[in-house]
Amino acid sequence: MSPTSSDGRAFRRAFWWTTAVTAGVAAVFLLLGALQGPKLSTAQVDSVRVTEQAGQQLRLFANQPLSDVTVDQITVEPAVPVQVSVQGELIAVQFERALNYGTEYTVTVTGVASPSRSATSDFVHTFTTAPGSFLYVDRGDDVDEVLVADVAGTGRGEVLHAAPGIQFAAPLENALILARDDGDGGSVLEVVDRASDAVERVRLPADGLRVDALRVPRVGTTVAVILSSTVGGEDSADRWLALVDLAGAGVAEWVTGLDGEPIVTRDALFTQAGDALLVHDLDQALLRLPLADPTLILPVAQFSDVHSVSSDGRLLSATDPFGGVAVDLESGDEQRIHPSLFDDELVFGADFHLLASGEWVQRVAVTDPSGLAVANLIVLDDGRGDSRLLARTVQDAGSFVDFRVSPNDQYVAIEVVPVVAEAEPDGRAVNGRATSITVVIVDIASGELVRSVAGFAPSW
- Write a three-state SS string for 344-409: CECEEEEEEEECCCCCEEEEEEEECCCCCEEEEEEEEECCCCEEEEEEECHHHCCEEEEEEECCCC
Check which CATH number belongs to the domain holding 120 and give it.
2.60.40.1220
Same domain, 104 and 81: yes
Same domain, 69 and 19: no
For residue 263, give the DSSP letter. P
Please report the pLDDT score of residue 1 as a whole number.
Answer: 46
Asked whether 90 and 61 are in contact (CB, 8 A), the reply is yes
Dist. CA 427–CA 120, nearest whole Å: 69
Q: Regarding predicted confidence, which is higher, 374 or 64?
A: 64
Q: Which range (33-42, 179-188, 233-242) has the least confidence?
A: 233-242
Q: How far is CA 334 from CA 302, 305, 307, 329, 357, in A?
A: 12, 15, 15, 9, 17
Dist. CA 304–CA 194, nearest whole Å: 37
Q: How many CA atoms lie within 13 A of 189 on its CB side?
A: 30
Please report the pLDDT score of residue 375 as a whole number.
Answer: 87
| pLDDT (average), residues 362-382 | 87
Give the chain's domain count.
2
- Domain presence at residue 110: yes
Same domain, 8 and 83: no
Query: Which residue range(s) make up the domain with 18?
Result: 1-35
Dist. CA 132–CA 137, nearest whole Å: 17
Asked whether 52 and 130 are in contact (CB, 8 A), the reply is no
- Omega before residue 425 within 30° of 0, cis: no
- Domain presence at residue 64: yes
Torsion of CA 269, 270, 272, 273, to 10 degrees: 160
Does the pLDDT of residue 20 top 70, yes or no?
A: no
- Domain presence at residue 351: no
For the segment 104-123, what is each residue's pLDDT rounded down to a tens digit? 999 999 999 999 888 999 99
| pLDDT (average), residues 57-76 | 97
- Domain presence at residue 120: yes
Boundary residue ending a domain (87, 107, 128): 128
Boundary residue ending a domain (103, 128, 153): 128
Cβ contacts of residue 199 below 8 Å, gap of 6+? Answer: 163, 190, 191, 192, 193
For the segment 224-270, what is each residue's pLDDT rounded down to a tens digit? 999 999 986 544 568 999 999 988 888 999 998 878 889 999 999 99
Nearest to 309 by CA among 176, 217, 239, 221: 217
Does the pLDDT of residue 457 top 70, yes or no?
A: yes
- Domain presence at residue 76: yes
| pLDDT (average), residues 65-75 | 97
Residues of the chain with pLDDT > 70, as a percent, come to: 91
Dist. CA 328–CA 316, nearest whole Å: 7
Q: How far is CA 459 from CA 102, 133, 150, 413, in A?
A: 18, 9, 12, 8
How many Cβ atoms from other residues are within 10 Å of residue 418's Cβ?
A: 16
pTM for the predicted model, two decimal places: 0.86
Same domain, 61 and 111: yes
Asked whether 364 and 350 are in contact (CB, 8 A), the reply is yes
The band of 17, judged by pLDDT with boundaries at 50, 70 and 90, is low
Does the pLDDT of residue 307 top 80, yes or no?
A: yes
Same domain, 56 and 122: yes
Same domain, 46 and 124: yes
Please report the pLDDT score of residue 28 as a whole number.
Answer: 46
Same domain, 77 and 8: no
How many Cβ atoms from other residues are within 10 Å of residue 333's Cβ?
A: 10
- Domain presence at residue 178: no
Dist. CA 347–CA 227, nearest whole Å: 35
E strands present in 198-333? 199-202, 209-215, 222-229, 239-245, 253-254, 265-270, 276-281, 285-290, 298-302, 305-309, 315-320, 323-328
Please report the pLDDT score of residue 134 as a whole number.
Answer: 97
| pLDDT (average), residues 42-69 | 96
Q: How far is CA 338 from CA 168, 182, 284, 326, 383, in A?
A: 33, 44, 21, 10, 7
For residue 425, give the DSSP letter. B
Dist. CA 192–CA 201, nearest whole Å: 9
Same domain, 51 and 85: yes
Same domain, 51 and 75: yes
Same domain, 31 and 44: no
Dist. CA 404–CA 170, nearest whole Å: 13
Same domain, 85 and 56: yes
Does the pLDDT of residue 33 top 60, yes or no?
A: no
Boundary residue ending a domain (86, 109, 128): 128
Same domain, 48 and 107: yes
Does the pLDDT of residue 7 top 70, yes or no?
A: no
- Domain presence at residue 118: yes
- Domain presence at residue 317: no
